[in-house]
Structure 1
C-alpha cells in the first residue's frame, strides 16, 4: 500500500525544519524535497499554519504510537521511560529538533504551541504512575517528572551530552535520574 501523502508531507516538513530551520519550511520546499509537482503540498495543506499543525500532529501520533508499543512490553516505569527516551534520541532526532525550533517560533498561547508542548510526553498518562506510588499530589509529581524528562532530552539532543556517542549505555544512563526521581517521590 502506498504511504499516505499527508503523512509523507508532514515527515518531510519535520526534516526540513530540523535541517534548515522553521523559516525554510515552505510548501515549495516540501514539494521539492518529495519531488512532487509544484502545488502538491498546498493542495493538502492550504496555509503555512495548516502545514505546521500537520507537522506537530505527525510528531504527536508517532510519539503516542511508539510509547504504546513500548507499554505492551513488561517493564518497570523507569526502564520503559528510559527506553522511550533512547528511541527519541536514536531514531527521532529530527522530530526533537523540529519540535524545539517550532516551540521557539510559535506564540506561547497558540493552539500549535500547546500541541507541541504535549507532543512527546503526557501529564495525563504519567499521573497514574504517581497515583500507584501514593504521592500526596500526583498532578505535581507528574508535572515534575515531565520536566525531568524534558531536561534529559534537551541535554542529550542539543545540550552538553549531545556530543556523547549513543551506545548501549545510554539507556542505563538515562534510567539513573528517572529511577532516583521515582524512588524519591515515592518516599517523600
Structure 2
C-alpha cells in the first residue's frame, strides 16, 4: 500500500474516533505507526490533510459489482457501510458537515457526491430505469439515510435481510423490480 493510502486510512480512523477536532498530523502519524513528521511531509497543512482524507474516502467508495441482483448489491453496500466500512462512513459524515463551512471542501464533497450518483445512474440505466438520474438520487438518498440513521443511533442497524427487502421496495417503486 502506498504512503498516501496509509495516511488517508489512518486519518479516517482518527476522524471516526475523535472527530475533526482530533485530526492532527501527529495523531495520524501515531495511528499509522509512522515516524513523527511523515504526514506533514505529504500534507503540509491541515486543509491539505482533510483534502487527502476525503480523496481516500472517495477512492475506497469505488466498489466493484457484487454477486446477486441489484437489490442484493444495494443492500450489501449498506450492510458493509454499517460493518467493515463503519469508520469510513463516520469520517465521511464528519467531513460532510465540515464542507458546509469550508468552500474548498464543499467543491470536493460535491464532486464526490456527483460521481457516486453518476455511477448509480449508470447501474440503474443498465437495469432499465426510465429516469436514471432521478432514480439514482432516490436510491442513493435512501442508502445514505439508512446508513446515517443507523450510525447516529436514530434507528437500529437493519439486518441484511431487511435491507434487501427495503431495496426491493425502493426498486419496485421506480419500476425496476
The answer on whether the counterparts of 1:17 and 1:101 sit within 8 Å (CA) in structure 2 is yes
Aligned length: 174
Match of 2:94? Answer: 101
Match of 1:22? Answer: 20
The answer on whether the counterparts of 1:60 and 1:120 sit within 8 Å (CA) in structure 2 is no
- Residue 138 and residue 33 in structure 1: after superposition, are their counterparts in 2 closer, same or farther (change >3 A)? closer
- Which ranges of structure 2 fall in alignment gaps of 5 or more residues? none
- Given the alignment, which residue of 114, 128, 145 partners 1:133? 128
The answer on whether the counterparts of 2:99 and 2:109 sit within 8 Å (CA) in structure 1 is no
Match of 1:143? Answer: 137
**Segments ≥4 residues shifted beyond 6 Å:** none
User: Residue deviations 1:19-51, cap 9 Å, x none?
Assistant: 111011111221233343332111111111211
Question: What TM-score do you get using the length of structure 2 for normalisation?
Answer: 0.86
2:114 equivalent to 1:123: no
CA–CA distance in structure 1, aligned partners of residues 113 and 9 of structure 2 = 15
What secondary structure does 2:83 align onto?
A: helix
What secondary structure does 1:37 align onto?
A: coil
- Given the alignment, which residue of 105, 109, 112 partners 2:105? 112
Superposed displacement of residue 106, structure 1 = 2.1
- Which ranges of structure 1 fall in alignment gaps of 5 or more residues? none
CA–CA distance in structure 2, aligned partners of residues 16 and 152 of structure 1 = 23
